[in-house]
Amino acid sequence: MTSFSRADRVSALIQETLSKILNTSIHDPRLHMTTITQVKMSADLKLARIYFAIYGDDKKSEDAAKGFESARGFIKRILAPKLGLRYMPELIFFYDDSFDYGSHIEQLLEKIKTDNGPDHQSN
């Protein structure tokens, strides 16, 4: 059985709780349709790097980042009692561009497929 570190357990709890907060308590339109993709905690539990994704262009991701910065205090007040830690970690929000990168790779592969045609055989 794999043992998880305390940082991993706190990361999972933050991700779950923050996702619920986004769905129920935060009504900022900039954060509508955002998804928390990952939370990485420092080993000392003082810093939480929170990664989010949002469907749309760069403007939407920038607006969402500003929305998270604006809601940081509110989020910390709701998270603190649920975490049960002596110190509330500092929350830093990052846009997760891995979905954009994956979509770009998929488009390139599709372009290669259509350019070569279905019956193309390499020698």
Q: Report pLDDT digits (tens) over 51-83.
A: 999 887 788 889 999 999 999 999 999 999 998
Eight-class DSSP state of 52: E
- Matching CATH number, 6-116, of 3.50.50.60, 3.40.50.2020, 3.30.1490.190, 3.30.300.20: 3.30.300.20
Q: Would you place residue 3 in the very low, low, confident or very high pLDDT band (cuts 50, 70, 90)?
A: low
Mean pLDDT of the region 4-14? 89
Stated as kind and residue range, the H or E segment containing 24 is helix 6-24
Q: What is the DSSP string of 25-41?
A: T---GGGTTEEEEEEEE
CA distance 50 to 13: 12
Q: Say if CB 71 and CB 31 are below 8 A apart.
A: yes
| pLDDT at residue 68, as a whole number | 95
